[in-house]
Amino acid sequence: MLCTRCHHFEAAPDGVLCTRCATPAGFQAPPAGAPKARLRSPVGLGRATAVLLAVTAAVDAFAVGADFLTYDVTGDVLGGASGDSVPDRADLADTLTAVAASAQAAVLLACSVVFVIWLWRVRVNAEVFAPEGHSKARGWVIAGWVVPIAGFWYPRRVVLDVWDASSPEGRREGHALVNVWWTLWLLTSVVGRLLASTAEEADTGQEIHDTAVQMLFADGVDLVAALVAAVLVLRLTRMQDEKARKGPAVPVAG
Protein backbone atom coordinates (compact mmCIF):
# COMPACT_ATOMS: atom_id res chain seq x y z
CA MET A 1 0.00 0.00 0.00
CA LEU A 2 1.04 3.62 -0.45
CA CYS A 3 2.29 5.66 2.46
CA THR A 4 -0.70 7.30 4.19
CA ARG A 5 1.26 10.53 4.67
CA CYS A 6 2.96 11.34 1.37
CA HIS A 7 0.93 8.98 -0.87
CA HIS A 8 4.03 8.67 -3.04
CA PHE A 9 6.21 5.79 -1.76
CA GLU A 10 5.29 2.28 -0.68
CA ALA A 11 4.59 1.90 3.03
CA ALA A 12 6.86 -0.34 5.09
CA PRO A 13 5.62 -3.96 5.28
CA ASP A 14 4.75 -3.62 8.96
CA GLY A 15 3.34 -0.07 8.96
CA VAL A 16 1.37 2.62 7.15
CA LEU A 17 4.25 5.05 6.52
CA CYS A 18 7.13 4.75 4.08
CA THR A 19 10.64 4.70 5.50
CA ARG A 20 11.16 8.34 4.49
CA CYS A 21 8.05 9.70 6.23
CA ALA A 22 8.70 7.52 9.28
CA THR A 23 11.82 9.56 10.06
CA PRO A 24 11.53 12.68 12.28
CA ALA A 25 12.37 14.86 9.30
CA GLY A 26 9.83 13.21 7.02
CA PHE A 27 7.43 15.08 4.77
CA GLN A 28 4.65 16.29 7.02
CA ALA A 29 0.92 16.38 6.37
CA PRO A 30 -0.77 19.81 6.39
CA PRO A 31 -2.14 21.08 9.72
CA ALA A 32 -5.50 19.79 10.92
CA GLY A 33 -8.36 21.46 9.09
CA ALA A 34 -6.34 22.21 5.98
CA PRO A 35 -7.43 20.72 2.62
CA LYS A 36 -6.09 17.21 2.16
CA ALA A 37 -2.75 17.17 0.37
CA ARG A 38 -0.79 14.28 -1.10
CA LEU A 39 2.10 14.04 -3.49
CA ARG A 40 1.21 13.49 -7.13
CA SER A 41 3.61 13.60 -10.04
CA PRO A 42 3.64 17.00 -11.79
CA VAL A 43 5.69 15.73 -14.74
CA GLY A 44 2.89 15.00 -17.21
CA LEU A 45 1.04 18.24 -16.51
CA GLY A 46 4.30 20.18 -16.56
CA ARG A 47 5.24 18.85 -19.98
CA ALA A 48 1.76 19.52 -21.36
CA THR A 49 1.87 23.08 -20.04
CA ALA A 50 5.32 23.67 -21.50
CA VAL A 51 4.18 22.36 -24.89
CA LEU A 52 1.18 24.70 -24.91
CA LEU A 53 3.44 27.60 -23.94
CA ALA A 54 5.73 26.69 -26.84
CA VAL A 55 2.70 26.69 -29.15
CA THR A 56 1.78 30.11 -27.74
CA ALA A 57 5.25 31.36 -28.57
CA ALA A 58 4.94 29.98 -32.12
CA VAL A 59 1.61 31.76 -32.60
CA ASP A 60 3.17 34.95 -31.27
CA ALA A 61 5.98 34.57 -33.80
CA PHE A 62 3.34 34.29 -36.53
CA ALA A 63 1.70 37.46 -35.17
CA VAL A 64 5.05 39.27 -35.25
CA GLY A 65 5.35 38.36 -38.93
CA ALA A 66 1.85 39.70 -39.61
CA ASP A 67 2.68 42.90 -37.72
CA PHE A 68 5.85 43.41 -39.75
CA LEU A 69 3.97 42.90 -43.02
CA THR A 70 1.38 45.47 -41.91
CA TYR A 71 4.13 47.92 -41.00
CA ASP A 72 5.91 47.35 -44.29
CA VAL A 73 2.89 47.69 -46.58
CA THR A 74 1.47 50.73 -44.79
CA GLY A 75 4.88 52.33 -45.07
CA ASP A 76 4.81 51.75 -48.82
CA VAL A 77 1.33 53.27 -49.05
CA LEU A 78 2.36 56.34 -47.08
CA GLY A 79 5.45 56.63 -49.27
CA GLY A 80 3.30 56.79 -52.39
CA ALA A 81 4.09 53.32 -53.72
CA SER A 82 1.74 52.03 -56.37
CA GLY A 83 1.17 48.85 -58.32
CA ASP A 84 -0.99 45.78 -58.05
CA SER A 85 1.20 44.22 -55.38
CA VAL A 86 0.45 46.92 -52.80
CA PRO A 87 -3.30 46.22 -52.33
CA ASP A 88 -2.61 42.48 -52.53
CA ARG A 89 -0.06 42.73 -49.73
CA ALA A 90 -2.43 44.93 -47.74
CA ASP A 91 -5.18 42.32 -48.02
CA LEU A 92 -2.74 39.61 -47.03
CA ALA A 93 -1.61 41.64 -44.00
CA ASP A 94 -5.23 42.09 -42.90
CA THR A 95 -5.92 38.37 -43.29
CA LEU A 96 -2.81 37.30 -41.41
CA THR A 97 -3.48 39.78 -38.61
CA ALA A 98 -7.03 38.46 -38.16
CA VAL A 99 -5.83 34.84 -38.17
CA ALA A 100 -3.09 35.67 -35.65
CA ALA A 101 -5.54 37.40 -33.31
CA SER A 102 -7.96 34.45 -33.38
CA ALA A 103 -5.16 31.92 -32.88
CA GLN A 104 -3.70 33.90 -29.98
CA ALA A 105 -7.07 34.05 -28.22
CA ALA A 106 -7.69 30.30 -28.64
CA VAL A 107 -4.21 29.25 -27.55
CA LEU A 108 -4.24 31.65 -24.60
CA LEU A 109 -7.47 30.14 -23.31
CA ALA A 110 -6.23 26.56 -23.60
CA CYS A 111 -2.83 27.40 -22.12
CA SER A 112 -4.34 29.33 -19.20
CA VAL A 113 -6.57 26.41 -18.20
CA VAL A 114 -3.75 23.85 -18.29
CA PHE A 115 -1.33 26.23 -16.55
CA VAL A 116 -3.72 26.74 -13.62
CA ILE A 117 -4.30 22.97 -13.35
CA TRP A 118 -0.53 22.44 -13.26
CA LEU A 119 -0.11 25.21 -10.69
CA TRP A 120 -2.77 23.60 -8.49
CA ARG A 121 -0.91 20.28 -8.68
CA VAL A 122 2.46 21.73 -7.71
CA ARG A 123 0.85 23.83 -4.97
CA VAL A 124 -0.73 20.76 -3.37
CA ASN A 125 2.62 18.96 -3.58
CA ALA A 126 4.29 21.97 -1.98
CA GLU A 127 1.91 21.70 0.98
CA VAL A 128 3.26 18.21 1.60
CA PHE A 129 6.86 19.44 1.37
CA ALA A 130 6.26 22.49 3.59
CA PRO A 131 2.78 22.68 5.18
CA GLU A 132 3.51 25.98 6.96
CA GLY A 133 5.33 27.67 4.09
CA HIS A 134 2.39 29.31 2.29
CA SER A 135 1.18 32.86 2.88
CA LYS A 136 -1.91 32.49 0.65
CA ALA A 137 -4.70 29.94 0.90
CA ARG A 138 -4.88 27.28 -1.79
CA GLY A 139 -7.93 28.91 -3.36
CA TRP A 140 -5.77 31.82 -4.51
CA VAL A 141 -4.19 29.50 -7.07
CA ILE A 142 -7.34 30.19 -9.09
CA ALA A 143 -8.77 33.36 -7.55
CA GLY A 144 -5.47 35.21 -7.85
CA TRP A 145 -5.89 35.43 -11.61
CA VAL A 146 -9.42 36.82 -11.62
CA VAL A 147 -9.76 39.02 -8.52
CA PRO A 148 -9.09 42.69 -9.41
CA ILE A 149 -6.01 44.33 -7.88
CA ALA A 150 -4.94 41.10 -6.13
CA GLY A 151 -4.03 39.74 -9.55
CA PHE A 152 -1.06 42.09 -9.67
CA TRP A 153 0.87 40.18 -6.99
CA TYR A 154 -1.02 37.20 -5.53
CA PRO A 155 -0.13 34.69 -8.28
CA ARG A 156 3.54 35.61 -7.94
CA ARG A 157 3.34 35.07 -4.17
CA VAL A 158 1.71 31.67 -4.67
CA VAL A 159 4.43 30.62 -7.12
CA LEU A 160 7.20 31.90 -4.84
CA ASP A 161 5.85 29.87 -1.91
CA VAL A 162 5.66 26.76 -4.10
CA TRP A 163 9.18 27.46 -5.39
CA ASP A 164 10.63 27.76 -1.89
CA ALA A 165 8.84 24.64 -0.66
CA SER A 166 10.10 22.69 -3.67
CA SER A 167 13.73 23.76 -3.32
CA PRO A 168 16.27 21.11 -2.31
CA GLU A 169 16.65 20.49 1.40
CA GLY A 170 19.05 22.98 2.94
CA ARG A 171 19.43 25.02 -0.27
CA ARG A 172 16.83 27.56 -1.37
CA GLU A 173 16.76 28.33 -5.08
CA GLY A 174 16.97 32.01 -6.10
CA HIS A 175 13.86 33.87 -7.25
CA ALA A 176 15.31 35.47 -10.39
CA LEU A 177 13.41 33.22 -12.82
CA VAL A 178 10.10 33.76 -11.00
CA ASN A 179 10.62 37.53 -10.96
CA VAL A 180 11.49 37.68 -14.66
CA TRP A 181 8.43 35.58 -15.52
CA TRP A 182 6.11 37.76 -13.45
CA THR A 183 7.53 41.02 -14.83
CA LEU A 184 7.00 39.81 -18.39
CA TRP A 185 3.50 38.59 -17.54
CA LEU A 186 2.52 42.00 -16.11
CA LEU A 187 4.06 43.74 -19.10
CA THR A 188 2.23 41.63 -21.65
CA SER A 189 -1.04 41.74 -19.69
CA VAL A 190 -1.20 45.49 -19.07
CA VAL A 191 0.81 47.09 -21.86
CA GLY A 192 -0.18 44.47 -24.43
CA ARG A 193 -3.89 44.98 -23.84
CA LEU A 194 -3.57 48.77 -24.01
CA LEU A 195 -1.67 48.58 -27.29
CA ALA A 196 -4.17 46.09 -28.73
CA SER A 197 -7.00 48.47 -27.85
CA THR A 198 -5.18 51.33 -29.55
CA ALA A 199 -4.61 49.22 -32.66
CA GLU A 200 -8.33 48.47 -32.94
CA GLU A 201 -9.11 52.20 -33.01
CA ALA A 202 -6.59 53.03 -35.75
CA ASP A 203 -8.31 54.25 -38.94
CA THR A 204 -5.89 56.21 -41.08
CA GLY A 205 -2.88 54.78 -42.85
CA GLN A 206 -0.52 56.68 -40.55
CA GLU A 207 -2.29 55.42 -37.42
CA ILE A 208 -2.20 51.82 -38.67
CA HIS A 209 1.48 52.21 -39.54
CA ASP A 210 2.28 53.55 -36.06
CA THR A 211 0.25 50.93 -34.20
CA ALA A 212 1.94 48.17 -36.23
CA VAL A 213 5.19 49.10 -34.47
CA GLN A 214 3.43 48.95 -31.11
CA MET A 215 1.94 45.54 -31.91
CA LEU A 216 5.35 44.29 -32.97
CA PHE A 217 6.57 45.18 -29.48
CA ALA A 218 3.53 43.67 -27.74
CA ASP A 219 3.63 40.39 -29.65
CA GLY A 220 7.39 40.20 -29.20
CA VAL A 221 7.01 40.54 -25.44
CA ASP A 222 4.26 37.89 -25.52
CA LEU A 223 6.64 35.54 -27.30
CA VAL A 224 9.44 36.02 -24.76
CA ALA A 225 6.98 35.78 -21.85
CA ALA A 226 5.67 32.44 -23.13
CA LEU A 227 9.18 31.02 -23.47
CA VAL A 228 10.22 32.18 -19.99
CA ALA A 229 7.00 30.72 -18.56
CA ALA A 230 7.82 27.38 -20.22
CA VAL A 231 11.28 27.42 -18.61
CA LEU A 232 9.69 28.21 -15.23
CA VAL A 233 7.19 25.36 -15.54
CA LEU A 234 9.85 22.83 -16.53
CA ARG A 235 12.24 23.99 -13.80
CA LEU A 236 9.66 23.88 -11.00
CA THR A 237 8.33 20.53 -12.23
CA ARG A 238 11.83 19.07 -12.17
CA MET A 239 12.49 20.49 -8.69
CA GLN A 240 9.40 18.79 -7.30
CA ASP A 241 10.04 15.51 -9.08
CA GLU A 242 13.63 15.37 -7.82
CA LYS A 243 12.64 16.30 -4.27
CA ALA A 244 9.91 13.68 -4.14
CA ARG A 245 12.21 10.96 -5.50
CA LYS A 246 14.98 11.79 -3.03
CA GLY A 247 12.57 11.87 -0.11
CA PRO A 248 13.11 13.85 3.09
CA ALA A 249 16.55 14.40 4.49
CA VAL A 250 17.36 11.70 7.04
CA PRO A 251 19.10 13.12 10.13
CA VAL A 252 22.53 11.72 10.80
CA ALA A 253 22.98 10.16 14.23
CA GLY A 254 25.44 12.07 16.36
Cβ-based neighbour number of residue 81 at 10 Å: 12
> What pTM value is reported for the model?
0.81
What residues contact residue 251 under an 8 Å CB cut-off, 6+ apart? 23, 24, 25
pLDDT digit string, tens, across residues 23-62: 544 555 555 555 677 889 999 999 999 999 999 999 999 9
> Any idea what the Cα angle at residue 56 is, between residues 50 and 59, rounded to 5°?
145
**Cα–Cα distance measured from residue 242 to residue 215, given in angstroms and rounded to the nearest whole number:** 40
Confidence tier at 15 by pLDDT (50, 70, 90): low
Is residue 113 scored above 90 in pLDDT?
yes
How far is the CA of 155 from the CAs of 11, 140, 242, in angstroms? 35, 7, 24
